[in-house]
Structure 1
Amino acid sequence: MPKDGVRENLGIRAYQLLKNDIIKGTFAPGEKLRMHALKAYYDLGISPLREALSQLVAEHLVVAISQRGYRVAPMSLAELHDIYDARAQLEAMLLGLAIERGDDAWEADVVAKAHHLNIVSASNTPEGLLAIWDERHSTFHTTLVSGCNSSHLLQVRAGLFDKVQRYRHLWLKETVFSEQALEQKRQEHSALVDVTLERRHEDAMAMMHDHLMTPVPIITEAMHQQGLA
């Protein structure tokens, strides 16, 4: 029998692997998650997989079906619009607070993270480029709002970011693999940095809101094309 520490590590590993595959679309919305297939796919036992599935049910990425196991949670246009609107409203507010409260060190960090994002170069594989750009992009946005100096608000933000991940992945594939779309994002990020460093509170908030809502039409089209809407 595995020791408690080993069992806990296996549960965390199962959760991380399964969550990542649901976000990436390896398991489609509505797809049944059969325990024997998951055991073979991940080379993990039933206990850590059950722990992972229970946690993903709590995060609304998996649906428990009475006496019939689990399915990947469905996706919908209504949820897409609701989550993105909530996230854009919150992010704009947090940026406004960051502009009011952020110090010189925060400004320097914003500039550094923006530069780090801009110099992303081609990776060996498209998926590698996607992962690198997404990590740096997320870090840039987190740095922008970190100046708000509110751990509770940032925790709420992290929860919303988790909920939006499946939808974001559809947008990422359309954006990172398109040089034209990437250039548009570079310009938007540069403009965001400028108004933030100039402490133009209202302009920065409006720009952030619009920036975070731009993926919605792209995701909507992708969902229609993939039969998810």
Structure 2
Amino acid sequence: MAKNNTSTGDSLMAEPKTLVESAYRALRRDIIEGHLAPGEKLRVEHLKDDYGVGAGTLREALSLLISDALVVSQGQRGFRVAPVSLEDFGDITQTRVMLECEALRQSITMGDDAWEGDLLAAFHRLTKAEEKRIGSDDREEWEERNRIFHEVLISACPSRWLKHFLSILYQQAERYRRLSLYLKPIPRDIHAEHEALMQAAMARDADKATTILGEHIRLTFRSIEQIPKDQLNEKLAA
């Protein structure tokens, strides 16, 4: 089997190396957490002071966020936070299921002993975060460990393009997933879902693992669907 050279997914945890990267991360976090609302106009002259960088640096950071589909450019009219909608999340969900299940299937085929060790370690750290029941101070830790777990699952997939597109879809889904975590519209045992996924992957049962993964991803969409429309619209526009 091909050797897996990917670490446990901690690359994004490194300290930012440039002002552009620092501004990018701060803006990205504020968009995903909803501090910068969907559709909100991003005025460079105001935001540069909020984020402590120059106008040029901020524009570079916003350009990176356009690549992530978290910001849209309006030509001479500047930048806005990308909009969100239930229809958009449905599209994200179906595309993610299609791509991530294929990446997992390849990863199970190609993963070696190091991949198995990384997966067990990522699951252990995620379990520790889940035991805290995701209180307000622990949500960021859970989100990070959840991301790492999903990254490690597909890390032995040899296609860098699959993994690149999935990283974009994952962070797009994160904007919606937070609503599911906070509002809990349907009962879920997310730890049990992750455990079943980990066990099927470790058993090299690609059919079972991809079935579990597809249902795991779709459940978040179905959860969002159950939120009353007026409450959902209020949260999406908050």
Q: What residue number does 1:117 align with?
A: 126
* Of 215, 220, 229, the match for 2:220: 215
Q: 1:132 to 1:224 in 2, by over 3 A?
A: same
Q: How does 1:1-229 map to 2 (within 5 A)?
A: 9-120=18-129, 121-122=131-132, 126-174=135-183, 181=188, 184-220=189-225, 221=227, 224-227=230-233, 228=236
State the distance in 1 between where 2:228 and 2:147 align. 22
Identify unmatched segments of 5+ residues in structure 1.
Answer: 1-7
Higher relative contact order (CA 8 A, sep 6+): 2
Q: 1:65 to 1:104 in 2, by over 3 A?
A: closer
Normalising by structure 1, report the TM-score: 0.82
State the distance in 2 between where 1:201 and 1:159 align. 24
User: 1:224: Cα distance to partner?
Assistant: 4.5
Q: Per residue, is there more helix in 1 or in 2? A: 1
User: 1:189: Cα distance to partner?
Assistant: 1.2
SS at match of 1:75: coil
SS at match of 2:154: helix
State the distance in 1 between where 2:158 and 2:77 align. 45
Structure 1 window deviating more from structure 2 (34-43 vs 84-93): it is 34-43
Amino acid at match of 2:99: L
The 8 Å contact of residues 130 and 172 in structure 1, kept in 2 or not, is answered as no
Q: Which has the larger radius of gyration?
A: 1
SS at match of 1:63: strand
Deviations 1:127-165 (A, max 9, x none): 430011111111111112223243343223223223333
The 8 Å contact of residues 170 and 222 in structure 1, kept in 2 or not, is answered as no
Task: Using the aligned pairs only, state the percent identity.
Answer: 38
Q: How many residues align?
A: 216
User: 1:118: Cα distance to partner?
Assistant: 1.0
State the distance in 2 between where 1:16 and 1:112 align. 26
Amino acid at match of 2:206: H
Structure 1 window deviating more from structure 2 (93-102 vs 51-60): it is 51-60
State the distance in 1 between where 2:105 and 2:144 align. 23
Q: 1:205 to 1:122 in 2, by over 3 A?
A: closer
Deviations 1:40-61 (A, max 9, x none): 3222221111222233234332
